[in-house]
């Protein structure tokens, strides 16, 4: 099944603000999804991929580092998996 990653307008703007080392991690995250598939990305323990709760119930999160994460929505079709990146942000723990 083919996987495609697209960015929301907000995420596109945030890419210009994030540190270079996080941008490299983001590019690797996208590459894993688009070449190996969404399920392969989920198997990478460092991404700590998980579903969110509450008002973000339909969204998922993956970690790029200890404090940077991606918020996205997964849309599965019969032939493709679309991953829409909503945010790339610095998460305060």
* Separation CA 12–CA 64 (nearest Å): 16
pTM of the full structure: 0.88
CA angle in degrees (0–180, nearest 5) for 52-54-57 = 50
CATH C-level class of 2-90: alpha beta
Q: Break the chain into its structural domains and give their ranges.
A: 2-90
- Residue 83's pLDDT band, with cuts at 50, 70 and 90, is confident
Give tens-digit pLDDT for 8-50: 998 999 888 899 999 999 999 999 999 998 899 999 999 999 9
Give tens-digit pLDDT for 40-81: 999 999 999 999 999 999 899 999 998 999 999 988 776 667
Distances (CA, A) of 28 to 32, 52, 55, 57, 79: 6, 22, 28, 26, 23
Strand order in the sheet with 2-7: 2-7, 80-90, 68-76, 60-63, 50-51
Q: What is the mean pLDDT of the chain?
A: 89
* Separation CA 57–CA 75 (nearest Å): 14
Residue 40 pLDDT: 92
Give the three-class secondary structure for 15. Answer: helix
């Amino acid at each position: 099944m083919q996987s495609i990653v697209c960015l929301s307008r907000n995420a596109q703007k945030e890419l210009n603000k994030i540190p270079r080392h996080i941008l490299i991690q983001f590019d690797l995250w996208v590459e894993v999804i688009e070449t190996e598939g969404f399920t392969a990305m989920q198997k990478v323990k460092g991404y700590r991929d998980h579903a969110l709760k509450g008002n973000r119930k339909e969204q998922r999160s993956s970690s790029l580092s200890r404090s940077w994460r991606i918020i996205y929505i997964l849309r599965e079709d019969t032939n493709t998996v679309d991953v829409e990146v909503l945010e790339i942000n610095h998460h305060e723990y």
